[in-house]
Amino acid sequence: MRYSIFSLMRQALRGHADWTPAWRDAAPKRAYDVIIVGGGGHGLATAHYLSKVYGIANVAVLEKGWIGSGNAGRNTTIIRSNYLLPGNVPFYELSMQLWEGLEQDLNYNAMVSQRGVLNLYHSDAQRDAYARRGNAMRMHGIDAELLNANAVRRMAPFLDFDNARFPIHGGLLQRRGGTARHDAVVWGYARAASDRGVDIIQNCEVTGFIREAGRITGVTTSRGEIKAAKVGLAVAGNTSRLTSLAGLRLPIESHVLQAFVSESIKPRIPGVITFGAGHFYVSQSDKGGLVFGGDIDGYNSYAQRGNLPTVEDVCEGGMAILPSLGRVRVLRSWGGVMDMSMDGSPIIDRAPLPGLYLNTGWCYGGFKATPASGWCFAHLLARDELHEVGRDYRLDRFATGHLIDEKGQGAQPNLH
């Protein structure tokens, strides 16, 4: 069923009785060309581009819970392409361009909203670093504007410009950045992939791998064995668990990241605003809630919930730039399990086991990457070669030293 203003009107006249399910609830077949483990945004985007761009539709996406139940449905929905390093710039810009055409591509309202992402700076040194990043972006044709304090004040007069510790001196603005509704992204990709024949199989946990002659030839699941010529993993914080079943140890640690949403208030925050002297970011959802978050919890965990000291730390960061936040009640908080890599950048590559392919290491920035991640992973699965745009996200960079450390933090996953 094609979604349009006319289908909406037709359904409205019929009491919304004739909507068909957005995707088929498939049962597993015995074998596929490709199995993708993980029904998050990355797995489903991969299935969509595999079927659409490469014509490979004999594909199953296996999800242990329901699609979008992982980080795809837990993030703070920020999308942007304001990166500095050569490995990252073209990849995240491809993602941004795919976001810009996503709703037409999927025929689905993913509420992509380019309301701008503003990174605040609080010192001259930080302004210089932002100027450098903005220049790198502009050299690659990506929009970036360095704002002084007055320009920021015009956009966001409610910020605390004269905070004694962290005065706001200005900001780096990417107007094309913004937000997208995360669960709608998952549903849109699922619907488009399912329409082309991809099987989306929920409640199907992968419990092991089938090996034949040194090659991965399928998976064992809670719903039986399923064979495939290629198996791709897109399981975010569960990557190390799954790869250990194949006898692999990856440079990935799992950490919790929390997020928060407040009660709804009148429209106040124009776009996404981030604190430059600590870790805090905020935007306002279309329902009016302030959606915000900060740092990861800093210890390894597979639990989808965090601890109170981090809640305090996030709220302190928020109060430093936005004192009126203290008047707003928090409605909900939750956590997701992040696949933190040693240099803060992802891995889209073959595993050192024939037949097995990896999509991981998204840290807490993988939502914005969803379209490009799916695009490049589909290319890898279809052609058995790295896509030009994601070619630096190789697994062996940790052995060769070609790290992509965007933050310059060193090999500490909890700091990325």
Sites of contact with ligand FAD (CB under 6 A): 37-43, 62-65, 69-72, 74-78, 205-206, 234-236, 238, 242, 257-259, 293, 336, 362, 364-368
Q: Provide, rounded to whole angstroms, the least separation between the CB of residue 165 and ligand FAD.
A: 25
Nearer to ligand FAD, 257 or 395 (CB): 257
At its nearest, how many Å lie between ligand FAD and the CB of residue 187?
13
Query: HEC string of the chain?
Result: CCCCHHHHHHHHHCCCCCCCCCCCCCCCCCEEEEEEECCCHHHHHHHHHHHHHCCCCCEEEECCCCCCCCHHHCCCCEECCCCCCCCCHHHHHHHHHHHHHHHHHHCCCCCCECCCEEEEECCHHHHHHHHHHHHHHHHCCCCCEEEEHHHHHHHCCCCCCCCCCCCCCEEEEECCCEECCHHHHHHHHHHHHHHCCCEEECCCCEEEEEEECCEEEEEEECCEEEEEEEEEECCHHHHHHHHHHCCCCCCEEEEEEEEEEEEECCCCCCCEEECCCCCCEEEECCCCEEEEEEEEEEEECCCCCCCHHHHHHHHHHHHHHCHHHHHCCEEEEEEEEEEEECCCCCEEEECCCCCEEEEECCCCCCCCCHHHHHHHHHHHHHHCCCCHHHCCCCCCHHHHCCCCCCCCCCCCHHHC
Nearer to ligand FAD, 169 or 350 (CB): 350
Shortest distance in whole angstroms from residue 160 CB to ligand FAD = 23
Closest separation between CB of residue 68 and ligand FAD, Å? 7
- Please report how close the Cβ of residue 56 comes to ligand FAD at its closest, in angstroms: 19
Judged by beta carbon, residue 63 or residue 195, the one nearer ligand FAD is: 63
Pick the closer one to ligand FAD by CB: 167 or 224: 224
Give the residue with the Cβ less far from ligand FAD, 38 or 218: 38
169 vs 361, beta carbon nearer ligand FAD: 361
Burial class of residue 55 in the structure, from the number of CB atoms within 10 Å of its CB (0-12 exposed, 13-18 middle, 19+ buried): exposed
**In the complex, least distance from residue 51 CB atom to ligand FAD, rounded to whole angstroms:** 17
CB of 207 to ligand FAD, least distance (A): 7
Between 103 and 297, whose beta carbon lies closer to ligand FAD?
Answer: 297
Q: How far is the CB of 164 from ligand FAD (least distance, A)?
A: 29
Q: Looking at beta carbons only, is 336 or 355 nearer to ligand FAD?
A: 336
What CA–CA distance (Å, rounded) separates 129 from 170? Answer: 12
